[in-house]
Amino acid sequence: MNEGGWSCPHDVRGVCDIIKKECDPGDKGCVLYGKVKFANPQTPSNEAFEKRMERKMKQMLEESKKE
């Protein structure tokens, strides 16, 4: 999937060389999984992203209490 301004180095003519199937940004195994929130609410990346952000916020709150 080479739409927009970013092209993934794992995209080999539309097939992901990591997940070994058609490129599906945000799918489990994708380098973007959990790192990006997508406009498509169906992508599994969004839930992983939210959980990651929650963990990060808790960690920051814990660190601020120590100071």
List the helix and strand counts (H, then E) for the chain.
1, 2
Q: Which is nearer to ligand SF4, 23 or 34 (CB)?
A: 23
Interface residues with ligand SF4 (CB under 6 A) are: 1, 8, 10-11, 16, 18-19, 23-25, 27, 30-32
Q: Which is nearer to ligand SF4, 13 or 66 (CB)?
A: 13
Cβ proximity of 29 and 18 under 8 Å: yes
Spell out the residues 6+ positions from residue 47 whose beta carbon is closer than 8 angstroms to its own: none
Q: Which is nearer to ligand SF4, 1 or 57 (CB)?
A: 1
